[in-house]
Amino acid sequence: EVQLVESGGGLVQPGRSLRLSCTVSGFTFGDYTMSWFRQAPGKGLEWVGFIRSNTYGGTTEYAASVKGRFTISRDDSKSVAYVQMNSLKTEDTAVYYCTRYRGYIDYWGQGTLVTVSS
Amino acid sequence: EIVLTQSPDFQSVTPKEKVTITCRASQSIGSSLHWYQQKPDQSPKLLIKSASQSVSGVPSRFSGSGSGTDFTLTINSLEAEDAAAYYCHQSGSLPLTFGGGTKVEIK
């Protein structure tokens, strides 16, 4: 059974940092691009960024709204994806989803809530 | 950035009715358009991939069509469990984008 489990969410003050983790099981993690999406309370879905598999260089792409502040990484030996979120803003408040990305998203985690507030 | 415009925003439908949701892309994306269903307090779920390809485990009453800039999600014979928000998503070019969503309510 495929599982993606996010962790690390919580309440953080504006300007501070937070790192989310996504622990994967049920498929060969290293073979896939992993992507992060988010959903602000009561709003629609927004792409955050993704990291390609090492077969494709392990390179990253980001949405303009987070570029320069967020960094996505992966540890294939542990089957974990990360997103390091720096200089957080109130508008980053959202449920963050870790996903397996194949041009479409075929597996989603349950999401972890990040609240940026003073 | 490719903008996806979904319509309608909201639809109230009786069971067994047919539902049609459209998604228009601001530029051609071929068949790089996918549909998701999100029920309250749940993660989204893939319904249709690549405009019209079925997904394993998804009921056959869900179907998709279209290419280029105009796409449609059809739910034949709506069931009560289909109450949800529906989103289209394009992977034709970066940044990846979503439509604004369509909320389907059961009368």
**B96 touches A at CB < 8 Å:** yes
Which of A44, A45, A47 shows the shortest C-beta gap to B95?
A47
What is the model's pLDDT at position A107? 97
Q: What is the pLDDT of residue A70?
A: 98
The pLDDT tens digits of the residues spanning A43-87 come to 999 999 999 999 999 999 999 999 999 999 999 999 999 999 999
On whether any CB of chain A is under 8 Å from the CB of B89, the answer is yes
b/e map B19-38, b = 16+ CB within 10 Å: bebbbbbeeebebbbbbbbb
Local structure of A29: helix, strand or coil: helix
Average pLDDT over residues B80-92: 97
Length of chain A: 118
Q: What is the pLDDT of residues A82-117, one digit of tens each?
A: 999 999 999 999 999 999 999 999 999 999 999 999
B21 in contact with A, Cβ within 8 Å = no
> By the 8 A CB rule, do A70 and A62 touch?
yes
The dihedral over CA atoms of B86, B91, B94, B99, expressed in degrees to the nearest 10, equals: -20
Question: For B67-87, what is the mean pLDDT?
Answer: 97
Q: What is the pLDDT of residues B72-81, one digit of tens each?
A: 999 999 999 9
* Strands A60-62, A70-75: pairing kind: unpaired
- pLDDT for res B55: 97
Residue type, A27: F
Q: How far apart are CA B36 and CA B71, in angstroms?
A: 13
* pLDDT for B19: 97
Q: How many CA atoms lie within 13 A of B10 on its CB side?
A: 4
The verdict on A105 touching B (C-beta cutoff 8 Å) is: yes
Q: Which of B96, B98, B102, B103 to mutate to test the interface with A (most CBs of A within 10 A)?
A: B96
Task: Count CB pairs under 8 A between chains A and B.
Answer: 49
> Closest Cα of chain B to A107: distance in Å?
8
pLDDT at A76: 97
Structure tokens belonging to residue A118: 């003073």
Catalogue the long-range contacts made by A48-54 (C-beta closer than 8 Å, 24 or more residues apart).
Answer: A48/A72, A48/A83, A48/A96, A49/A83, A50/A101, A51/A81, A54/A30
Tell me the percentage of chain A whose pLDDT exceeds 70.
Answer: 100
Check residue A83 and give its pLDDT.
Answer: 98
**Closest approach of B81 to chain A, Cα-based (Å):** 20
Interchain CB contact of B44 with A (< 8 Å): yes
Determine which of A62, A101, A105, A106 to mutate to test the interface with B (most B C-beta atoms within 10 Å). Answer: A105
Identify the CA nearest to A15 among candidates A83, A91, A82: A91
